[in-house]
Amino acid sequence: MTQYDYDLVVIGSGPAGQRAAIQASKLRKRVAIVERKTVIGGVCINTGTIPSKTLREAVMHLSGYRERNVYGSSYAVKQDITMGDLLFRADAVMRSEIDVTRGQLIRNRVEVISAEASFIDAHTVLLKGMDGHAQRDVTSANVLIAVGTAPTHDSRVPADGQNIFLSDEILSLAELPRTLTVVGAGVIGCEYASMFAALGVRVTLIDKRDRLLPFIDSEIGDALAYQLRMNKVTLRLGEEVKQIEPVQEAGGRTRVRISLQSGKQIVTDKALYSVGRTGATARLNLPAAGVAADDRGRIKVNAQYQTSVPNIYAAGDIIGFPSLASVSMEQGRLAACHAFGVEAVSVPALFPYGIYTIPEISTVGRNEEELTKDGVPYEVGTAHYREIARGNIIGDQNGMLKLIFNLETRELLGVHIIGEGASELIHIGQAVLAFKGSVDYFVNTVFNYPTLAECYKTAAFNGINRLG
Domain boundaries, the chain: 6-151+278-348, 164-275, 359-466
Residue 393 scores a pLDDT above 70: yes
Amino acid at 63: S
Mind listing the pLDDT tens digit for each residue in 44-98? 777 778 888 999 999 999 998 888 888 887 888 888 888 888 888 888 888 899 8
Distance between CA atoms of 180 and 272, rounded to whole angstroms? Answer: 7
What would be the CATH architecture of the domain defined by 6-151+278-348? 3-Layer(bba) Sandwich (3.50)
From the CA atom positions of the chain, what is the Rg in Å?
A: 24
Is the separation of the CB atoms in 432 and 412 below 8 Å?
yes
Mind listing the pLDDT tens digit for each residue in 378-390? 999 999 999 999 9
- pLDDT for 86 equals 87
Domains 6-151+278-348 and 359-466 share a fold: no
| Banded model confidence at residue 156, pLDDT cuts 50, 70, 90 | confident
CATH 3.30.390.30 fits 359-466, yes or no: yes
Give the least confident one: 16-20, 245-249, 267-271. 245-249
- pLDDT for 317 equals 94
The residues, ordered by sequence, that sit 6+ positions from 317 with a Cβ below 8 Å of its Cβ are 14, 16, 43, 148, 149, 277, 279, 323, 328
DSSP 3-state assignment of 164?
strand
Residue 132 scores a pLDDT above 70: no
| Banded model confidence at residue 154, pLDDT cuts 50, 70, 90 | confident
Mean predicted confidence (pLDDT) in 304-323: 95
Full-model pTM: 0.92
CATH number of the 164-275 domain: 3.50.50.60
